[in-house]
Structure 1
């Protein structure tokens, strides 16, 4: 019997076990794995979400932001990360009912070596201040408001009248997304002034535009879009009217009266672009079907 272990067997076994990992290269390996996880996570999770609940805990995490927790109607706890703590001011307090618009965020804990799924807040609304009983108003609009659909037939580019402010940051994004399928005319007004907005809607209703889009980001003084003159101008408009008022929760009556409503200017731009693409797809399908039928008829006659 041999007194030595077979060298080949030992080498094979050690190859299965892998190289010994020191503390340093273990952490290096873990960092690489985490980076792949994080990169893949943010690649697949770009959808904007809206959550609401009651604030149950607030925690300072230094100058880069703040964490707090809300409990939703089902009793589930959701962690919110707010990098811009200014949007928390006078809104996030223990016991307050809030709405949060943002994106999924994967927080890596360097101390526990694990991660936590959060919502990274872009906008926060105090729902207790913006909620009221609007059901009778909605029912009246549903019964009496004639909804206008956007018509694309026989149009190379629909003329879109964009009601916005001259210093709006979303203007260029809207134009970039819609310029291929829409001819955009900008109309600058004071979006905090009721008369300016309502008169502009009435004037555009008499123009040759095909669509009216009211675009305003942020959440400051959205109550102007509850003013009667604006609501009445939208109600009487004969043109398809779109609101994109950039709020996290339902907080303006203009959204109910409008033909189309989106919660941000960028969302409106992408949805309007999607409507045009959908029409183009259907149109091309019809043209192709007609072409095939005509070719078939021609071939039959040639026999």
Structure 2
């Protein structure tokens, strides 16, 4: 076994840190540098979270970068109910390091709202534009078939969304075998990748409807589903498109253009096969209710017949 090099304080090339030691060193550097204290930082809020602790966590972003921020409850001088994603702010605070993850973040002491953020403003304008063109109109939405022959599925390969959909399909009687069209669902290349998958499934004569799904995540992960070209592709699809994007708290323009909107990939799969997804238990319940109704009817007939004798 090779011997570890000696640890010295003078030659960094020979120093072997543990992960904890390096994390603490980063923390101490940030804490001891006055350049990182009492900063004023302008950006747009995204991925805002409000846990039960009362602390507020969010990302502050501009066109190219994102910085994690924390606004501890004891530092909140005023009510912050009006904070939300898409708001442009100036945050005052200091950089700190969250040692367990070696992640630096801005510990905020004061927030001043500037107005609407660029991303939020652009998204609002795009929505108004597409809405004026009628892309979100209810009367243009296509009906989901009750008994589809095959269901096309667009999702990332080996993703939680894919597995959730397969779990639902495997529980159906008979089992549903989807036609998979794998695509990238986050990042700059995602819209083009999803549009290609939509095109492929539309050209497949055996596919009766299409599910577009991805699991939950921070708001930045869903920007691909606000892409204008993708929204137009969904609206112009010849086959019904069911979206199951993120969870109930996530919303995007792709949902507005879809023919059916589900809150999760699993509920999207259930919506795609409404007849097949009825479980044996549901069928037994229907049968039992039918028998009870018949029994009650026979009892009433018997009583009426007996009363007339």
Normalising by the residue count of structure 2, what TM-score does the alignment of the two structures yield?
0.47
Normalising by the residue count of structure 1, what TM-score does the alignment of the two structures yield?
0.47
